[in-house]
Structure 1
Amino acid sequence: GAGERPHEDDEDEAWAGPLAAVFPRDPALFADSFPTRSRFRFCGHVLRIAQHHGPRLGLAAPVWDGVRVLGGIGGVFRGVTPPLTSPLTDPLGGDVTITDLPLALEQIRENVRRNVPGGAAAPCPPPRVRALAWGLDHGSFPRGYDVVLGADVVYDPRSFPALLTTLRHLCGPRSVALLCCGMRRELGAARFFQQLLPRHFRTQLLRRCPQRDVELYRATCGDIG
C-alpha cells in the first residue's frame, strides 16, 4: 500500500546496483587505494574504523570529508549521529542512536564494537543502531532529540524533501542540528543550505573548511522570521 517501506532486499539492490560498475566485487583489488581499516583521532580519542568497500555498500562505506570535520566537535547529548562520530560521543555519556539505510547497519555495528566499551563496567549503554529511510519511517523515532548530527547527508536533490521532513520530525523547539557536508554545488548543496533549510530552521554557518570544500551549519527550530 501507499507509504509502505520498500523490502530490504529491493532497497539494497536499488542502491547497490548502479555502483557495481564502479566498485569491484573483490574489495581486495582496492586494498592499496581504499584501506579497509583506518584510524582517526578526535578530541583525544583514537577511533578504529572498518570500511568495507564493494558494490553492496558503495557510497555508504567510506568516511567522507564532512564526517572528518564534524568529528572534531565533542559534546554530551542524546541524538542521532553518523557512524564515525557516534563512537566518540558515546563514551562521553551520551544516549546515542545511530541511523543509516539497512545495508550499512552491520558495518556500523562492527565499528561500535571496535570503539565503544561493553559489559557491566561500561560508563553508559551502547548506542542503538537503527535503520532510517528518510521520509518513510521517521515516525518510528521520538521527537525532540537534544542534538542531531548529520554528515554528508546532502548529496541528491531528489532526497531533499524527505530529508527535510525527517529533520523536522527529529528536531524539537530545543534541538540543535549540526549538519556538515561537502558543498557539492552541482548536486544542490548550496541551494539546500541557503534556500531550502532556512524555510524551516534558523540556520547559521559555523565553519568553512576551504581545503576540503566542506561547510558546517547549525540549525534550530527557533523563529525563522
Structure 2
Amino acid sequence: MTCVGDEEDDPFPVDDGLFTETFSLDSVFHLMGEELRIKQVFGANLGVAAPVWEAALHLCRYLEDESVLLRGQRIIELGAGTGVVGILAARMGAEVTLTDLPLALPQLQANVSANAPSDGWPVSPTVLPLSWGQDHLNFPSDWDLVLCADIIYLPETYPLLVETLAHLCKNGATAYLSSKMRMEHQAQSFYEEFLPSRFNVELVHRDDEQNNNVYRATLQ
C-alpha cells in the first residue's frame, strides 16, 4: 500500500526519503502454475507500494498449499501495491477488484494489463482507489474473500483498516492477511488487539525464517 498525503494529520503520510531515485525492475514469478510478470517502480511517490513484498508471495503460496477456492469467487484486495496477489487470483478464475491509494493505481493497472492471459481473462479484474475508513462505504459487502498482504505498518491506520474490513466482510466474507511481524510497526498489536475487537482471528501459517504470519479472520 502507498503512503501518500499532504497534511500532517493524514493517516497515509508521504515518506519522501524511502526511495531517493526512481527506477523500475521487471520480475517474473511462478505461482500456482502461472507465470506473472510484475513491474516494480521504485520512487518517492510510490514508496512501499513499489516492491513485491515477501508477505505477498507467502499469501499466494498459502492459498495454493491449502487449496483455497479462488475460481468463481468474488475477491477484493486491499493495499494491492504491485497487484501480484489479486492478479494471480484473477488468473485462477476469480472475479477480482484490486484497490490501493490513487498514486499506486497506474503501476497496478499496468501490471494487470501486462498479465492478461493470451486467451483473455476469465473475468476482467477491476482496479479502483480505496482509502481505508474514508470511502469504503462506496464498496459492496458481498465478497467471498478479502486479501491483504503486508499492509500492517502504520499504527494510526489500524482502526481505519478494521472499520473497512468490517464493512467488506459484513455479509460473510473471509479475510486472509499475510504480514511480516515487525515490532517497530506493532504488527502483533494489530492482530492481538485491533482486529479481534471485531473479528474472530486465527493464525493459520507461520514462517519462522521470514518472520511472516498468515491469519484468517471472519466478522464476529
> What is the aligned-residue RMSD (CA, Å)?
2.0
Which amino acid counterpart does residue 154 of structure 2 have in structure 1? D
Deviates more, 1:81-90 or 1:131-140: 81-90
Match of 1:66 among 44, 55, 66: 55
Alignment-derived partner of residue 141 in structure 2: 143
SS at match of 1:179: strand
Question: Could you say if the C-alpha distance between residues 203 and 26 of structure 1 is closer, same or farther in structure 2, counting changes exceeding 3 Å?
Answer: closer
Deviates more, 1:35-44 or 1:202-211: 35-44
SS at match of 1:203: strand
Deviates more, 1:130-139 or 1:164-173: 164-173
> What is the TM-score when the length of structure 1 is the normalising length?
0.83
List runs of 5+ in structure 1 lacking aligned partners: 1-7, 28-34
Question: Could you say if the C-alpha distance between residues 9 and 182 of structure 1 is closer, same or farther in structure 2, counting changes exceeding 3 Å?
Answer: closer
Instruction: Establish whether residue 110 from structure 1 lines up as the match of residue 107 from structure 2.
Output: no
Deviates more, 1:200-209 or 1:68-77: 68-77
Question: Could you say if the C-alpha distance between residues 215 and 9 of structure 1 is closer, same or farther in structure 2, counting changes exceeding 3 Å?
Answer: closer
Percent of residue pairs bearing the same amino acid type: 37
Separation of aligned partners in 1, 2:149 and 2:86: 11
Alignment-derived partner of residue 214 in structure 1: 212
Question: Could you say if the C-alpha distance between residues 52 and 200 of structure 1 is closer, same or farther in structure 2, counting changes exceeding 3 Å?
Answer: same
Match of 1:79 among 72, 75, 89: 75
2:145–2:174 contact (8 Å) kept in structure 1: yes
List runs of 5+ in structure 2 lacking aligned partners: 65-69
Q: Post-superposition, which runs of at least 4 consecutive aligned residues in structure 1 deviate over 4 A?
A: 8-11, 14-17
Matches within 5 A, 1:1-225: 10=6, 17-19=14-16, 21-27=17-23, 36-72=25-61, 73-74=63-64, 75-76=70-71, 77-81=73-77, 82=80, 83-117=83-117, 121-222=119-220
1:16–1:56 contact (8 Å) kept in structure 2: no
Separation of aligned partners in 2, 1:125 and 1:50: 22
Distance apart, 1:16 and its partner CA: 7.3
> What is the TM-score when the length of structure 2 is the normalising length?
0.85
**Number of equivalent positions:** 203
Separation of aligned partners in 2, 1:166 and 1:97: 15
Which amino acid counterpart does residue 99 of structure 1 have in structure 2? T
